[in-house]
Amino acid sequence: MTSFPVQSKKLSASIKGLPTELVLSAYEDSILVIVTQIGKMGTLLHARKEQAYGGAATFNVHVLMGKRDEPLLPACARQVIEHISNNGGSKSLVLSLGLKDHSPEALKSIVQLIIDNKIW
Amino acid sequence: MDDISTSDGEGLPLRMFSDEAHDATFHFQILKLTDQLYIWVGCNAARLGHLFAAFPTPFDRTPSLTALIGGGPDNTGASMARRLSMKTGWSIILAINLPSNSPTLEAYAERRLLQELKSLGYAKSSAGAQQINGSV
């Protein structure tokens, strides 16, 4: 296998004592990030940057499946897509969050963990 | 930040491989989760493509199918997600980027995936194989 076209990274972490698995994949048009504490994909979010010509960027985040009553999950996706965009990327983000701990501190740590291990 | 420790341990089992067939280069990613598989199939390009989810339900023998990004029930990969879910008994999240209207490539990708799933021990190696080839 000379060069697989999709760069991937995976690691195990502990967030507030909970074992957390992280998998990142960089596709040509999207970044996929899977964060799981339950061993499943959990809530799946899609985030895109939308930019009018000469205008400011807006970010479009929606829940593809899973928890829709947890506003911190889209907030998490929003932070990550903004980071991708600030680093000059125009890729969209697919984020899967299978979490046990939905506290603001845990989500903040997760966003930090994703950014620390960025592949964009 | 506070209370994060990381280790580049084994992590989740992730299998990635490429293959050439029918004048095309196929790329596959298989990520094993708990009773779930995330699978990506790419052909010649590394775009994510359409995203489908297929789930077994107690109500029907046929798994339920949802198109999450792009695509509809007629698109390349929709029925593949369903059949993979039937074969494994697990939920399948399938990202697939194949040219449309190319049943040969689609059939090849599905056969190759099943072969891999069997060798990884994820799919039951039972009858069905014939049925799959016949129904594509």
Task: Point out which residues pair with B94 in neighbouring strands.
Answer: B39, B52
Do residue B9 and residue A11 have CB atoms under 8 angstroms apart? yes
Alpha carbon distances (Å) from A16 to A22, A38, A47, A107, B80: 15, 14, 26, 10, 39
Chain B residues inside the 8 Å CB shell of A27: 40, 42, 46-48
Mean pLDDT value of segment B5-27: 84
Q: Does residue B44 lie within any of the structural domains?
A: yes
Q: Domain range holding B60? A: 2-120
Residues B71-115 pLDDT 10s = 776 778 899 999 999 999 999 999 999 988 889 999 999 999 999
Query: Is the per-residue pLDDT at B135 higher than 50?
Result: no
The residues near B42 (Cβ < 8 Å, ≥ 6 apart) are A5, A6, A27, B26, B27, B28, B49, B97
Mean pLDDT value of segment B117-134: 69
The residue among A54 and A114 whose pLDDT is bigger is A114
Chain B residues inside the 8 Å CB shell of A41: 33, 36, 38, 93
Which CATH number fits the domain that encloses residue B69? Answer: 3.30.230.90
Q: Does residue A15 lie within any of the structural domains?
A: no
User: Which pLDDT score, from 0 to 100, does residue A62 have?
Assistant: 93
* Residue A48 contacts B, CB cutoff 8 Å: no
Cα A10–Cα B70–Cα B108 angle in degrees, nearest 5: 70
Which CATH number fits the domain that encloses residue A71? Answer: 3.30.230.90
User: Which pLDDT score, from 0 to 100, does residue B130 have?
Assistant: 45
Least confident among A71-85, A101-115, B6-20? B6-20
Quick one: pLDDT band at residue A1, thresholds 50, 70, 90? very low
Q: How many domains does chain A have?
A: 1
Chain B residues inside the 8 Å CB shell of A28: 45-48
Are A81 and A61 in contact by the 8 Å Cβ rule? The answer is yes
Nearest in space to A77 (alpha carbons), one of A117, A31, A37? A31
Cα R_g (chain A), whole angstroms: 14
b/e A34-66 (16+ beta carbons within 10 angstroms → b) = bbbbeebbbbbbbbbbeeeeeeeeebebebbbb
Cα R_g (chain B), whole angstroms: 15
